[in-house]
A and B are shown apart, each in its own frame.
Chain A
Amino acid sequence: MTTLSDPPGESFRLSMLLNDTRYRSYTFQFIALICVIGLFAYLASNLVANLRAAGLNISYDFLRDPSNYDINQRLIEYDSQSSHWRASLVGVLNTLLVAFLACVTATIFGVFAGVLRLSHNWLIRKLMAVYVEAFRNVPVLIWIIIIFTIMTAVLPQPRAFRGDDATASMLFDSMAFTNRGVFTPRPIFESGSMIVVLVFLASIVGVFAYRRYTTKLLYATGKLLPRGWPSLAILFLPSIVIYYIMGQPISLEYPELKGFNFSGGWNIRGSLIALWFALAIYTGAFIAENVRAGIQAVSTGQTEAAASLGLRPGRIMNLVVLPQALRVIIPPLISQYLNITKNSSLAIAVGYMDITGTLGGITLNQTGRAIESVLLLMAFYLAISLAISALMNVYNNSIKLKER
Chain B
Amino acid sequence: MSDTSHRTDAYVRTEMLPEAEPPGTQRGIVKWGRENLFSDVPNSILTIVSMIAVYYILVGVMPWLLNGIWDAPSIRECRALLDGKTGGCFAVLTERWNQLLFGFKYPSEEYWRPAVAFALLFVAAAPVMFFKYLPRKMLIFTALYPFLAFWLVWGGTIWTPIFALVGFIAGYLVWTTFVARSFAAGFFGAIVAALVTWWIGGFIAGLLAPENPLLSAVPSRDMGGFMLNMILGTVCVSLSLPLGIALALGRQSSMPIIKWICILFIEFVRGVPLITLLFVANVVLAYFLPPGTSFDLILRVIIMITMFSSAYIAEVIRGGLAALPRGQYEAGDSLGLDYPQAMRLIILPQALKISIPGIVNVAVGLFKDTTLVSVISMFDLVGMIRGPILASTEWNGVYWELFGMAALLFFVVCYGISQYSQWLERELRTDHR
**Shortest CB–CB separation between residue B80 and chain A, in angstroms?**
21
For A369-389 the 0/1 string (1 means CB < 8 A from B) is 011001001100110011000
B369-A139 in contact (CB<8A): yes
Task: Give complex CA distance A188, B36 in Å.
Answer: 50
Query: Can you add 19 more A-B contacts, CB < 8 Å, to A145-B386, A146-B407?
Result: A29-B258, A46-B291, A47-B287, A119-B43, A121-B47, A122-B36, A123-B46, A123-B50, A133-B415, A134-B411, A136-B414, A137-B364, A137-B368, A141-B371, A141-B372, A149-B403, A370-B279, A371-B284, A378-B272
Task: Give Cα A313 to B382, complex, Å.
Answer: 48
Binds B, one of A48-56, A227-235, A252-260: A48-56
Q: Is residue B118 within 8 Å, beta carbon to beta carbon, of the partner chain?
A: no
Report the Cα distance A223→B254, complex, angstroms: 56
Listed from nearest, the 7 A-B pairs whose CB atoms lie closest are A385-B271, A122-B36, A137-B414, A139-B368, A342-B273, A370-B283, A29-B257
A179: Cβ under 8 A from any B Cβ = no
B-contact bits for A119-131, CB 8 A (1 contact / 0 none): 1111110010000
Q: Is A201 an interface residue (CB 8 A)?
A: no
* Cβ-defined contact, A349 with B261, below 8 A: no
Are B411 and A137 closer than 8 Å at their CB atoms?
Answer: yes
Decide if A213 is an interface residue (CB 8 Å cutoff).
no
Q: Which of A32, A122, A140 contacts B261 (CB 8 A)?
A: A32
Tell whether, in the assembled complex, residue B276 and residue A360 are in contact, meaning their CB atoms are under 8 Å apart: yes
Query: Measured between C-beta atoms, what is the minimum distance from B75 to chain A in Å?
Result: 13
User: Which residue in chain B gives the minimum CB-CB distance to A370?
Assistant: B283
Do B406 and A348 touch (CB < 8 A)?
A: no
Tell me the smallest distance from the CB of A138 to a CB of chain B, in Å.
5
Q: Are B283 and A29 in contact (CB under 8 A)?
A: no
Residues of B within 8 A of A346 (CB): 275, 372, 375
Question: In the complex, what distance in Å separates the CA atom of A385 from the CA atom of B269?
Answer: 11
Residues of A within 8 A of B261 (CB): 32, 36
Which of A36, A49, A142, A345 has the most CB atoms of chain B within a 10 A radius of its CB? A142
26 contacts between A and B (CB under 8 A): A25-B255, A28-B255, A32-B257, A50-B286, A120-B43, A122-B37, A124-B50, A136-B414, A137-B364, A137-B410, A137-B418, A139-B410, A141-B372, A153-B397, A342-B272, A342-B273, A342-B274, A343-B273, A364-B279, A370-B279, A370-B283, A374-B276, A377-B276, A381-B272, A381-B276, A386-B267
A145: chain B residues within 8 A (beta carbon)? 382, 386, 403
Q: Which B residues touch A343, using CB under 8 A?
A: 273
Residues of A within 8 A of B418 (CB): 137
**Interface assignment of A237: CB less than 8 Å from any CB of chain B:** no
Q: Is A123 touching B414 in the complex (CB atoms < 8 A)?
A: no
Spell out A's residues near B (CB within 8 Å): 18, 25, 28-29, 32-33, 36, 43, 46-47, 49-51, 53, 119-124, 127, 133-134, 136-142, 145-146, 149, 153, 342-343, 345-346, 348-349, 356, 360, 364, 370-371, 374, 377-378, 381-382, 385-386
For chain B, the count of residues having a C-beta within 8 Å of the partner chain is 55
Residues of B contacting A371 in the complex (Cβ-Cβ under 8 angstroms): 284, 287
Tell me how far the C-beta of A281 lies from the nearest C-beta in chain B, rounded to whole angstroms: 13
Cβ of A124: which chain B residues have Cβ within 8 Å of it?
Answer: 46-47, 50
* CA of A27 to CA of B398, assembled, Å: 62
Of B46, B54, B273, B280, most A-chain CB atoms within 10 Å: B273
Quick one: which of B254, B279, B397, B410 contacts A377, CB cutoff 8 A? B279
Q: Which residues of B contact A119 (CB under 8 A)?
A: 43, 46
**A123's contact among B37, B290, B415, by CB below 8 Å, is which?**
B37
| Contact with A121, one of B46, B275, B280, B369 (Cβ below 8 angstroms) | B46
**Interface status of B51 (Cβ within 8 A of chain A):** yes
Are the CB atoms of B276 and A43 closer together than 8 Å? no
Residues of B within 8 A of A374 (CB): 276, 279-280, 283-284
Give the chain B neighbours of A142 by CB distance below 8 A. Answer: 371, 382, 403, 406-407, 410
- Interfacial chain A residues near B397, Cβ < 8 Å: 153
Q: List residues of chain B with CB within 8 A of the CB of A149.
A: 399, 403
Cross-chain contact A127 with B50 (CB below 8 angstroms):
yes
Q: Is the interface of A mostly helix, strand, loop or mixed?
A: helix
A370 and B284 form a contact (CB under 8 A) = yes
Contact at B254–A25, with CB atoms within 8 Å? yes
A360 to chain B, nearest CB (A): 6
B374 pairs with A356, CB closer than 8 A = no
Set of chain A residues within 8 Å of B284, measured between Cβ atoms: 370-371, 374
Q: Which residues of chain A come closer than 8 Å to B414, judged between CB atoms?
A: 136-138
Is the beta-carbon distance between B271 and A381 smaller than 8 angstroms?
yes
Report which of A28, A49, A123, A133 forms a contact with B51, defined as CB distance below 8 A.
Answer: A123
B 289-311 binary contact with A (CB < 8 Å = 1; else 0): 11100000000000000000000
User: Which residues of chain A are near B258, meaning CB under 8 Å?
Assistant: 28-29, 32
Residue of B nearest to A347 (CB): B275
Known: A137-B410, A141-B382, A370-B283. A345 touches B289 (CB 8 A): no
Tell me if A139 and B371 are in contact (CB < 8 A): yes
Q: Contact: A120 with B36, CB < 8 Å?
A: yes
Minimal beta-carbon separation of A387 from chain B (angstroms): 10
The residue on A at minimum CB distance from B385 is A145
Which residues of the partner chain A approach B276 to less than 8 Å between Cβ atoms?
345, 356, 360, 374, 377-378, 381
A25 to B258 Cα, complex, angstroms:
10
Whether A50 touches B272, Cβ cut-off 8 Å, given contacts A28-B255, A142-B371, is: no
Residues of B within 8 A of A18 (CB): 184
A364 CA / B35 CA spacing, docked (Å): 61
Whether A50 and B287, one on each chain, are in contact in the complex, defined by CB atoms closer than 8 angstroms, is yes
Given contacts A32-B261, A374-B280, A381-B272, contact A49 B291 (CB under 8 A): yes
Within 8 Å CB of A141, what residues of B?
Answer: 371-372, 374, 382
Our pick among A25, A138, A385 for the contact of B411 (Cβ within 8 Å) is: A138
**Which residues in A have their C-beta under 8 angstroms from that of B407?**
138, 142, 146
A358→B180 CA distance, assembly (Å): 57
A345 and B275 form a contact (CB under 8 A): yes
Asked whether A349 lies within 8 Å of B47 as measured between CB atoms, the reply is no
Q: Are B273 and A381 in contact (CB under 8 A)?
A: yes
Does B399 contact A153, Cβ atoms closer than 8 Å?
yes
**B37 in complex: contacting residue of A28, A36, A121, A381, CB < 8 Å:** A121
Contact between chains at A360 and B51 (CB < 8 Å): no
Complex CA gap A134/B414 in Å reads 10
Interface residues in B357-408 (C-beta closer than 8 Å to A): 364, 368-369, 371-372, 374-375, 382, 386, 397, 399, 403, 406-407
Residues of the A chain whose Cβ atoms lie less than 8 Å from the Cβ of B271:
381-382, 385-386
Chain A neighbourhood of B11, CB < 8 A: none
Asked if B268 is at the interface of the complex by the 8 Å CB criterion, the answer is yes
